[in-house]
Amino acid sequence: MEMIWQLFGVHITLFLIILISFVSWLIIPRRFKKVRLYTILGCCSVLIVSILIGMYTYWPKEYEKDYLKKKIPSDISNIPLKALADSLDFWIGMAINPTYSEYDYIASQFNSITAENHFKPGKLLKDANNWNFDFSIADSLMDYAIDNNLRMRGHTLIWGKFPGMTHPKAWISMVKNASDPKAEMENIIKKYIETVMGHFKGRVKNWDVVNEPMGRKVLFPSIFTETMGEDYIDYSFKIAHETDPDCELILNEAIGDYDGPQGRSFLSLLKRLIDRGVPIDGVGLQSHHINQIHDVDKLKKYIREIGKLGLTVEITELDVRLLLFKDHDDPYHAQGEQYYEIVKACLEDSACEGVTIWGLSDKINWMDKIPPFQWKSPNAPNILDENMNMKPAYLGIWRALKENQLNK
Ligand code: XIL
């Protein structure tokens, strides 16, 4: 709701004013000619204002690419991110998609990859009713990782949110029609994790066992919580650990307000999992900057708090929407500084072991495909522009790594 309000707030207000004045015009008796005239005039003016604001807001904007005027220093173009990260024993990762054509470039720049979509239940489990899997694309991505000595983050086994989009809708009817829904849910989780983790055993050494379990304050309500409550998380980790005891098991979450209700509840959840002896190794903080700029000081504190629990942290899905910096003189520069600050924050805390960037160039990015963000552009959230030029975002990551190396 908060997100919808941020994006459409003015329009929702204007729409309500138009609606109220139009309804008033309809119900005011005809003998009050003047009042009716002013009401309908008011209604039309608000309508015009709202169309103008709409055009201004949703008309694609372009910002000056000042970075293209500056020559990239040779040490930056000669030393890839991966070389710096390797020397720091740090993961620098990239989300990859079979539609990319820059595979060699990615292998030269990064030491870790995550399949943007092709390790997800919706892609692997082609027919949930018959447990029919298709690993072909995931396997080809895995081969690419092995051939190029890249770590593959497994993303993701069980996903708390959005049936159909992220976990198979068929699971809902399978569970609801079962004589013992809880037992059926456990069977499904067990069978899914055993099949998928088993398939990649020895090749994927770091899995997001559960992704996005949180709603705003409590767990996101789903077929998992309906049948098992919070225990679906414990159970998924238990099965994952039994399936591959050598694998790092991660709880991945999208948190924007680190010291707000969601951030605090997630920390309490972590504490409860640890108290119950759940075999969790670390936390993935997605860090999509999609409708707000994350506060880096709060992020640092948050990483520290997770570290104190004995868990590792990784920034697992970093991207930074350009439009969030529209009030800056040079939005591309400001975007680059945010990348710098986030990578630096991670590097400075020993609990934080890596940063994965969610997309390579602005030519293809997921924000351009999901409503409502696709209507408000430029999203341009990635580290290279649509022509593969290094943006200040790339330089920011490079600088954070280099400074850390110099300080060692
Ligand atoms: C996104 C992909 O980038 C899109 O291509 C896809 O259409 C939807 O999912 N949190 C996650 C990621 O954990 O898996 C999501 O990836 C982005 C939000």
pLDDT digits (tens, 9 = 90+) for 256-291: 889 999 999 999 999 999 999 999 999 999 999 999
Distance, in Å, from the CA atom of 398 to the CA atom of 381, rounded to the nearest integer, reads 17
CB 28 within 8 A of CB 36: yes
Please tell me the predicted confidence (pLDDT) of residue 3: 63
Please tell me the predicted confidence (pLDDT) of residue 227: 97
CB 117 near ligand 1, within 6 Å: yes
Residue where the block lists tokens 């300080």: 407
Closest Cα to atom 7 of ligand 1? 366
pLDDT > 70 fraction of the chain, expressed in percent and rounded: 98
Please tell me the predicted confidence (pLDDT) of residue 365: 92
Which helix (DSSP H) or strand (DSSP E) does residue 342 occupy? helix 331-347
Please tell me the predicted confidence (pLDDT) of residue 1: 58
CB 287 near ligand 1, within 6 Å: no
- Ligand 1, residue 120: give the atom nearest the CA: 14
Q: Residue 54: pLDDT above 80?
A: no
Distance, in Å, from the CA atom of 277 to the CA atom of 272, rounded to the nearest integer, reads 9
Please tell me the predicted confidence (pLDDT) of residue 375: 82
Closest Cα to atom 12 of ligand 1? 116
Residue where the block lists tokens 């790092």: 248
CB 317 near ligand 1, within 6 Å: yes
For residue range 59-71, what is the model confidence (pLDDT) as tens digits? 778 899 999 999 9
Mutate-to-test residue for ligand 1 from 358, 365, 370, highest number of ligand atoms within 8 A of CB? 358
Find the 359 Cα to ligand 1 centroid distance in Å: 10
- DSSP states of 241-293: HHH-TTSEEEEEE--S-TTSHHHHHHHHHHHHHHHTT----EEEE--EESSS-
Please tell me the predicted confidence (pLDDT) of residue 277: 98
Query: Which residues 6+ apart lie within 8 Å of 298 measured at CB?
Result: 258, 259, 263
For residue range 307-317, what is the model confidence (pLDDT) as tens digits? 999 999 999 99
Query: Which residues 6+ apart lie within 8 Å of 195 measured at CB?
Result: 131, 133
Q: Residue 301: pLDDT above 90?
A: yes
- Please report, for the chain, how many H helices and E strands are present, in that order: 15, 11
Please tell me the predicted confidence (pLDDT) of residue 329: 96
Q: Residue 42: pLDDT above 90?
A: no
Closest Cα to atom 13 of ligand 1? 211
Please tell me the predicted confidence (pLDDT) of residue 45: 86
Q: Residue 17: pLDDT above 70?
A: yes
CB 114 near ligand 1, within 6 Å: no
Confidence of residue 57 (pLDDT cuts 50, 70, 90): confident
